[in-house]
Amino acid sequence: MYFYTMLGFFQKVSKYWLFQVLGWGVFLAINVFFAISYKMVDKRFISRLIITILLGLIVTHLMRTFIKTLKLLNQKVNFQLIGFFCLSGVFAFGLGLLETIIVKSLQLNFPQENGFNFFQDYISNTFTWMILFFIWNCIYFIYHFVDESRRNQLDKLKLEALVKSLELKTIKSHINPHFIFNALNSIRALIDENPFRAREAVTALSNILRSSMVSETQETITLEKELTIVKDYLALELIRFEDRLRISYEIDELAMQQSVPPMMLQTLVENSIKHGISKSLKPGEIIIKAVASVNQLELKVLNTGKLDIHENADGFGLQSTSSRLNLIFGEAATFNIHQADQDFVEASVQIPIV
């Protein structure tokens, strides 16, 4: 109970006063230690030490008020250092004079100071206070410099996280309308031609939209869930292309539970339909592969056709895929699209397995 009471007390006391008490407490302990070692403890020593600590506490607090009033900590580092040095000198000269007057008035000179005149006492006391104030200001400066650097770093991390979140949301807001537009075009082509298949297409689209709404709030989903969306999408495209489209899957069982960005694989498949299958009157094929190794998941989407670098580079889908991978996984993930052989274009993604 006592421990928690003391803990609550220290939490209420500001760090400044805790450091003040701790610092001057260390100063007191050092002086007492050396005084005992050299057998110098007497009433004069105790009185002089109490006066020194009281003056030190009062004047350093006053000096802190000046630092805050002058907004010295808001200045450039070089100016801060010059300001702290000047303040140390000004307050040391002032307090050196005050202590000399008090010590002379109360006759508290140490034996080694008995031969000193007023000016010598003044110079000695000023020099001592100059050292103490310089040390105090150095500690004060270092603490605030480190604290400011830590807060700036924390703010930077928060800002980076916010930017990353906003970028991901922006990318997702582009992906879904792009997909819906293509899907609705497919359904529109079927309404007059084959109403029954159009209804099947609407059912497939509703499944895709339901899945995409759930994944909208998630940064990653399992490959198994992503494949469900892809299969619904391809089922819709099969209605449109009929015999012109063949689909095959080569999925490693270990890959099914690995994490991937939602709608990413669907984007690659959609790209293969848009730039590959739909541009040819000949039958085409899409092959979807997924292989999981010890620390990496590799996804591949192959489609028959020829790679048009300029056309693919301008597509938002592929740009968004690259951007999302970079935002979520950094340099650990890679994306590449190239002409695999004479007949197939290959889009491949490598994602780290955590």
* pLDDT for the residue 104: 84
Q: Are residues 216 and 304 in the same domain?
A: yes
Q: Which of 119, 151, 183 is the last residue of a domain?
A: 151
Indicate whether 25 belongs to any domain.
yes
Q: Is residue 184 part of a domain?
A: no
pLDDT digits (tens, 9 = 90+) for 322-345: 777 877 787 888 898 888 888 889
What CATH number does the domain containing 246 carry? 3.30.565.10
Which pLDDT tens digit goes with each residue over 168-216? 554 554 445 555 776 677 778 778 777 887 787 788 788 777 766 665 5
Residues 84 and 197 in one domain: no
Structural domain boundaries, residue 32: 2-151
- Tens digit of each residue's pLDDT (9 = 90 or more) over 46-95: 888 899 999 999 999 999 999 989 888 888 888 888 888 898 999 999 99
With b for 16 or more beta-carbon neighbours within 10 A and e for fewer, the 185-194 pattern comes to ebbeebeeee
Least confident of 143-157, 196-210, 271-285: 196-210
**Residue 83 and residue 12 share a domain:** yes
Q: Does 17 map to a domain?
A: yes
- pLDDT category of residue 152 using cuts at 50, 70 and 90: confident
Domain final residue pick, 122, 151, 180: 151
Same structural domain, 142 and 260: no
Q: Is 214 or 315 the better-scoring residue by pLDDT?
A: 214
Reported as a pLDDT band with limits 50, 70 and 90, residue 113 is low
Q: Sorting pLDDT into bands at 50, 70 and 90, what band is 12?
A: low
Q: How many domains does the chain have?
A: 2
Report long-range pairs for 348-351 (Cβ below 8 Å, ≥24 apart): 348/298, 348/299, 348/300, 348/301, 349/264, 349/268, 349/298, 349/299, 349/300, 349/321, 349/325, 350/296, 350/297, 350/298, 351/258, 351/259, 351/260, 351/296, 351/297, 351/298, 351/299, 351/325
Both tokens of 293, joined, read 């190794």
Across the range 296-307, mean pLDDT stands at 90
Stated pTM of the model: 0.51
Residue 172 is assigned to a structural domain of this protein: no
146 plus 211 within the same structural domain: no
Residue with tokens 């930017």: 163
- Structure confidence at residue 299 (pLDDT): 93
Asked, for residue 187, whether it belongs to a domain, the answer is no
Residue 7 pLDDT: 47
**Residue 160 resides in a domain:** no
SS3 1: coil
Which residue among 151, 184, 214 closes a domain?
151
Q: What is the mean pLDDT of the chain?
A: 81
pLDDT band, very low/low/confident/very high, at 264 (cuts 50, 70, 90): confident
- The reply to whether 261 falls in a domain is yes
Q: Is 213 helix (H, G, I), strand (E, B) or coil?
A: helix
CA dist 338 and 310 (Å) reads 12
Confidence class of residue 9 from pLDDT cuts 50, 70 and 90?
Answer: very low
Averaged pLDDT for residues 4-20: 66
